[in-house]
Amino acid sequence: MAIKIKTDVEINLMRESGHILANVFKDLEDIVKPGVSTKELDKFVYDRIRKYNAKPSFKGYGNPPFPASICSSVNDAVIHGVPKKDQILQDGDIIGIDIGVYYKGYHSDRAFTFMVGNVSDEARNLIEKTQESFFNGIKTIKNGSHVGDISNAIQNTIESAGYSLVREFQGHGVGANLHEEPNVPNRGKKGTGAILKTNMVIAIEPMVNIGKPNIYIDDSDDWTVITMDGSLSAHYEHTVAVREDGFEILTALEDDPIVNKYLS
């Protein structure tokens, strides 16, 4: 499948979708706390997305069809966690929440790992390093650069910190389809992979384990990806448009504190 270059009109529509998603994440900040179930978080997000006359991208996606609006991955769950009524957040947990929004024919995709109550320094450092790797990756983006430049920057950041990157999953193109070309691995060599061109749109999403990179899929739901050694995992993702001399994060608001921390 060929890589799709978006028109300016399409970029504008994706920016609208992305800002809806960014607002949903901002709303989530107030309710991710001890005592809340992941199922409650899922209902909250579904209601918020519908309030904007948009649809959740993930619900019904894939085979088997994903049953929820969010992926809620707690502690040693890497990605694709299925929300459950009896999964109650505890003080000290971390939870990666991945959400897609479909609006006016276009998807946006974002993930963020929240700290629940008082978390360990180990967990906090993992989350911060995961975020740092994302921003080191996107700083390489401009018209004519390579996907491998992003991958290499992420890999160097994570492995120099002593963490590991999940290898079986990666970032991807986004647009009228939730997953498009090109693939965006979190490990790689500079100057390799697809050449980035102005108005390409990609989702970049490092998935980082404190321990080893090995994972398995929970056979109770056929979705949740879990670290083999039980170590904590963090996930950070944005939908990013390639610009002539850089990039634009389509799924962030202007006052996003994490974005401003790394790009100011």
The pLDDT-based confidence of 81 (bands split at 50, 70, 90) is very high
Tokens representing 61 are 């996606």
Cβ 232 vs Cβ 76: under 8 Å: yes
The pLDDT-based confidence of 2 (bands split at 50, 70, 90) is confident
Question: CA separation (Å) from 86 to 37, 89, 90, 226?
Answer: 7, 10, 12, 18
Report the pLDDT averaged over residues 190-205. 98
Q: What does the mean pLDDT of the chain come to? A: 97
Query: Does the pLDDT value for residue 1 go beyond 80?
Result: no
Please spell the DSSP secondary structure of 17-59, one letter per residue: HHHHHHHHHHHHTTT-STT-BHHHHHHHHHHHHHHTT-EESST
Query: Does the pLDDT value for residue 77 go beyond 90?
Result: yes
* Residues 6+ away with beta carbon under 8 Å from 149: 140, 141, 190, 191
Report the pLDDT averaged over residues 132-145. 98
Question: CA separation (Å) from 129 to 78, 142, 208, 214, 225?
Answer: 15, 23, 9, 19, 21
Entry field: residues in the chain: 264
Query: Does the pLDDT value for residue 80 go beyond 90?
Result: yes
Per-residue pLDDT tens for 215-247?
A: 999 999 999 999 999 999 999 999 999 999 999
The pLDDT value given to residue 264: 85
* Bridge partners for 197 per DSSP: none
Tokens representing 238 are 């944005």
* Residues 6+ away with beta carbon under 8 Å from 33: 89, 116, 117
> What beta strand segments (E) does the chain contain?
55-56, 70-74, 77-79, 94-103, 106-115, 164-165, 171-173, 180-184, 201-204, 207-209, 215-217, 225-227, 233-235, 238-243, 246-249
Report the pLDDT averaged over residues 157-163. 98
Cβ 56 vs Cβ 99: under 8 Å: yes
**Placement of tokens 């790992």 in the chain:** 113
φ, ψ at 4 (rounded to 5°): -95, 125
Cβ 25 vs Cβ 116: under 8 Å: no
Query: Does the pLDDT value for residue 130 go beyond 80?
Result: yes
